[in-house]
Amino acid sequence: MSVVKLLCAAVLGVATAGALPARADYPDKPVKVYVGFAPGGATDLLARFYAEQLSRKLGQPFIVENRPGAGGNVAIQSLAQTKPDGYTIAMGANYIASNAALKRNSYDWDKDLTPIALIASTPNMLVVPPNSPFNSVDDIIRAGTRSDSFLTFGSAGVGSSIHLSGELFKAMTGAKLTHVPYKGVSPAEVALMAGDIDMMFGSVSTEVPLVQAGKLKILAVTGLERMKVFPDTPTLDEAGLKGFNVGASYMLVAPANVPDHIVRRLSEAVAEINAGAEAPAYTERLYATPMKGGPAEAKAFLRSEYEKWNKLVAENALKLD
């Protein structure tokens, strides 16, 4: 072999050797984790738990950054526009798909996002202030269908599962309810406890302690199964709204075109976290059900949610202002 060929081979070998560790070294700087709601709700709590776990496992800080607004869409829109290098991800939820069905997204989730891993799911709870005159779903329907009715329900923002639960309730019952959006579940809860709004289809992760403390009253659950913590509380399906099934399902997402090895490293790290003892214990404390699945499963889930909400929008003439 000539001297020139030897030198070329050596240079190529050094370049190749220098390129390979880059994959193993991700992340080599802090990673941002966007959250589309104010601190304190289930999205935020799950993001902080997984950020801490990923920091430990991958050796770099995963820093939660709250970007509330538009029912979570402010954060996801920002994510879709970031550099696809794996250093900005988000704790998203199925509002990504439901808002697409409602034509509210300024991004195309199928083209602009890369799902990483499924995390957990929760139903919502129909709750009212403790001194509310409403003690059942029928009470609300009767009051909401009177000609002089003016009832309000709060949410964590337009397009959130808390909001969509209320819109579907209106469509299925004919009740006249006025939506009052907040920039997260915590400020909505404060307003509800103060009596500024009449009701909310709130997040179980934060409503359960408030109900147990006597600060709120629970009337129904939005999922198809009763909750173990409130076994005597009916589902909305049992209360007469057949097929009513709305909740929040959380997942980690990244911008489109993040390198495959980075997506794989993140999804494998989440799978390892979920296989440990801490993650199931933490999700149980939030009254959530763990979900398992990597990029393919997360994308398939979003697609199924999109199809579900497309059908609900058509069947119930759902339209958001």
Specify the CATH number for the domain of residue 55. 3.40.190.150
255 and 311, same domain (yes or no) = yes
Percentage above 70 pLDDT, the chain? 92
pLDDT score at 7: 42
6 assigned to some structural domain = no
Identify the domain boundary among 239, 270, 293.
Answer: 239
62 and 149, same domain (yes or no) = no
pLDDT tens for each residue of 283-316 = 999 999 899 999 999 999 999 989 988 888 787 7
190 and 215, same domain (yes or no) = yes
Identify the domain boundary among 239, 273, 291.
Answer: 239
Q: What is the DSSP letter of 18?
A: H
Helices (H), 109-217: 109-112, 137-144, 161-173, 185-193, 204-212
Long-range contacts of 278-282 (CB under 8 A, 24+ apart): 278/53, 279/49, 279/53, 282/49
103 and 198, same domain (yes or no) = no
19 assigned to some structural domain = no
183 and 269, same domain (yes or no) = no
- 288 with 42: CB under 8 angstroms? yes
188 and 252, same domain (yes or no) = no
Instruction: Report the alpha-carbon distance of residue 113 to residue 268 in Å, rounded.
Output: 18
Task: Tell me which of 57-61, 158-162, 256-260 is least confident.
Answer: 158-162
16 assigned to some structural domain = no
**Helix or strand run (H / E) with residue 10:** helix 3-25
Predicted TM-score (pTM) above 0.85? no
pLDDT score at 320: 66
20 assigned to some structural domain = no
229 and 252, same domain (yes or no) = no
Rg value, the chain, Cα: 22
Residue 207 pLDDT exceeds 80: yes
- 42 with 207: CB under 8 angstroms? no
Residue 109 pLDDT exceeds 50: yes
139 and 233, same domain (yes or no) = yes
Domains held by the chain: number: 2
Residue 240 pLDDT exceeds 90: yes
Identify the domain boundary among 181, 210, 239.
Answer: 239
**Helix or strand run (H / E) with residue 100:** helix 95-101
147 and 286, same domain (yes or no) = no
Q: What is the DSSP letter of 72?
A: G
- Residue numbers of the domain that contains 138: 123-239
21 assigned to some structural domain = no
47 assigned to some structural domain = yes
190 and 278, same domain (yes or no) = no
| Average pLDDT of the residues of the chain | 89
For 229-267, b/e burial (b = at least 16 CB within 10 A) is ebeebbbbbbbebeebbbbbbbbbbbbbebeeebbebbb
1 assigned to some structural domain = no
138 assigned to some structural domain = yes
Give the residue, 309 or 262, on which the prediction is more confident: 262
Q: How far is CA 287 from CA 5, 122, 132, 162, in A?
A: 64, 7, 25, 16
Mean pLDDT of 141-152: 94
108 and 257, same domain (yes or no) = yes
Peptide bond into 295 cis (omega under 30): no
165 and 98, same domain (yes or no) = no
